[in-house]
Amino acid sequence: MTNKQQEQEMTFWDHLDELRKVLFRIAVAIGVIAVIAFVNKETLFDILFAPHRSDFITYRALCKLAAYLQFPALCPGDFHVDLINTQLASQLIVHMSAAFYVGLVLASPYIIYQLFGFIKPALYENERKYSTRTIVAAFVLFFCGLLLNYYAIFPLSFRFLGTYQVSEFVENKITLSSYISSFTTLSIAMGAVFEIPILAFFLAKTGLVHTHHLKKYRRHAFIAILIISAILTPADLFSMFLLAVPMYMLYELSIFVVKKAAPQASENRDKTLES
């Protein structure tokens, strides 16, 4: 009996029971990694707090670049921002939530594998082929977004906002919960932004997006990317372009993805519009 025949003979309750097993295995994987992260508290928070220290790798790299270009303003220099706690249970809650997020991120390959294994029997052979490639690509792009945020977007944003003062009489002391929530929010946002080519792929498959559309509005997209970059990053051109460049590269990648996803439809439409 083939997998397809077995899938057809499974009842609704069989599917529900299988889903319950998948969710249980996912929960166990997240829980185990989260517990390991929770126990290794010093390592966990050394990694999370690294961007708030002036000797972080990104700041050191900028200072070396500033020395090479003989442009001192590019170097952030030494700075110090205090992290404080103002609520009784806040540190424990932050510790638990940080461990959970780490567990969720590190277990994500296994989560995707389990979920894909659950829906795979219902897919046709050609759907399975491009679904596997799409899932791998989505996973890689999401982690690229996380890394860009960790090494560039969040450190530069924190350096600017954490040291910005309206007056010398107002001292900056950032709460622990504010630091972690800003870090996780930006991480999720950057991971989501890097999924744009995957979204373009599915829109192309449904015929809602064509290469002509993306090429036609390329200039508009560039302006929109600059505006978004200016909002998400500190008020300096270097940080803005540091985010804008990969975002625009993602847009160009989306054009390539759309062309590959539905080449015949895109070519026919382009020829029709050009004629």
Which residues sit opposite 83 in a β-bridge? Answer: 174
Residue 66 has pLDDT above 50, yes or no: yes
Residues 6+ apart with CB under 8 A from 266: 204, 210, 211, 212, 258, 259
What residue type is 26 in one-letter code? Answer: I
99-108, 118-127, 201-210 — which is least confidently predicted? 118-127
Residue 58 has pLDDT above 50, yes or no: yes
Mean pLDDT of 258-271: 60
Confidence (pLDDT) at 193: 86
Angle (nearest 5°) at CA 183 between 254 and 134: 30
Quote the CA–CA distance of 202 and 207 in Å, as a whole number. Answer: 9
Percentage of the chain lying above the pLDDT 90 cut: 25
Which residues sit opposite 82 in a β-bridge? Answer: 173
* Most confidently predicted of 31-40, 79-88, 129-138: 31-40
Q: Which two tokens stand for residue 90?
A: 């806040």
pLDDT band at 175 (very low <50, low <70, confident <90, very high): very high
Confidence (pLDDT) at 118: 80
Confidence (pLDDT) at 238: 67
Q: Which residue has tokens 């003979």?
A: 9
Mean pLDDT of 28-49: 96
16-20, 111-115, 118-122, 266-270 — which is least confidently predicted? 266-270
203-249 tens-digit pLDDT = 887 777 888 878 888 888 889 888 887 776 655 666 677 778 888 89
The continuous run of DSSP H or E covering 268 comes out as: helix 263-274
What residue type is 249 in one-letter code? Answer: M
Phi first, then psi: what are they for 139, rounded to 5°?
Answer: -65, -45
Confidence (pLDDT) at 127: 67
Quote the CA–CA distance of 138 and 113 in Å, as a whole number. Answer: 13
Q: Which two tokens stand for residue 39?
A: 């126990």
Residue 192 has pLDDT above 60, yes or no: yes
HEC letters along 88-140: CCHHHHHHHHHHHHHHHHHCHHHHHHHHHHHHHHHCCHHHHHHHHHHHHHHHH
Mean pLDDT of 189-206: 85
Residue 64 has pLDDT above 80, yes or no: yes
DSSP letter string over 187-255? HHHHHHHTTHHHHHHHHHHTTS--HHHHHHTHHHHHHHHHHHHHHHS-SSHHHHHHHHHHHHHHHHHHH
The continuous run of DSSP H or E covering 161 comes out as: helix 154-163
